[in-house]
Copies of this chain bind each other. A is one copy, B any other.
């Protein structure tokens, strides 16, 4: 809570003898996310993060005013570097399945763990909830939404189906499954959601 100045950016030009500014931000944030995924926000200590990043605790506090700020920043940065090209296999099911590359699934699993670790904080911080949504859920939902929309436009699915809602189904089911059943994000489950919920719910097009 002690709000000292954050970063006035007083001196920027490389002064007399110096390396550079804080180049270690990425390692620190990665360490923070890892610890977060492993033990959750409340049990995560700043020392743990510092130790994992091989940094001094003071370094963290020089850069972020509090644990909460560090986490918030790390979560926000985590969403960057996405924007893959949409798959285009010709069928909605093919497109959806194409999303389930091992890489993507593994990524999602890690993000899911981070999210679960933050769950109790999320409930009290709309700001953090928004960051999480933006960084983790929204990009995925956007892809699914686009695939559904395209399928609708080419008449593959029902013209009146709720694309917005359907695009959130798989994330939702994965989240609650992970939360309550301790199951990792798993390809087989995602397939059953696609084939047992999304595809049938999307219908078979206007021609029926």
A residues with CB within 8 A of B: 39-43, 113, 116-124, 126, 129, 132-133, 137, 158, 161-162, 165-166, 168-169, 171-173, 175-177, 179-182, 192-193, 196-198, 200-203
What's the Cα separation between A40 and B121 when bound, in Å? Answer: 8
Q: Tell me whether B124 and A40 are in contact (CB under 8 A).
A: yes
Q: Known contacts A117-B123, A200-B158, A201-B200: does B165 contact A192 (CB below 8 Å)?
A: yes
What's the Cα separation between A192 and B201 when bound, in Å? Answer: 12
What's the Cα separation between A50 and B40 when bound, in Å? Answer: 26
Q: How far is the CB of A183 from the nearest CB of chain B, in Å?
A: 11
Q: List 17 A-B contacts (CB under 8 A).
A: A40-B121, A42-B42, A119-B120, A122-B179, A129-B182, A133-B180, A161-B196, A162-B192, A165-B192, A165-B193, A166-B197, A168-B176, A168-B177, A169-B173, A171-B176, A172-B175, A175-B179
- This chain's copy number in the assembly: 2
Among B168, B172, B196, B203, the residue within 8 A (CB) of A166 is: B196
What's the Cα separation between A120 and B198 when bound, in Å? Answer: 29
Q: Which residues of chain B have C-beta atoms less than 8 A from A41's C-beta? A: 120
Q: Tell me whether A120 and B40 are in contact (CB under 8 A).
A: yes
Among B176, B181, B196, the residue within 8 A (CB) of A165 is: B196
Q: Tell me whether B197 and A169 are in contact (CB under 8 A).
A: yes
Q: Known contacts A169-B173, A172-B176, A182-B126: does B116 contact A117 (CB below 8 Å)?
A: no
User: Which has the most chain B C-beta neighbours within 10 Å: A137, A173, A179?
Assistant: A179
User: Which has the most chain B C-beta neighbours within 10 Å: A40, A113, A171, A176?
Assistant: A176
What's the Cα separation between A169 and B176 when bound, in Å? Answer: 10
Q: Tell me whether A161 and B40 are in contact (CB under 8 A).
A: no
What's the Cα separation between A173 and B137 when bound, in Å? Answer: 13
User: Which has the most chain B C-beta neighbours within 10 Å: A117, A168, A171?
Assistant: A168
Among B120, B132, B165, B181, the residue within 8 A (CB) of A133 is: B181
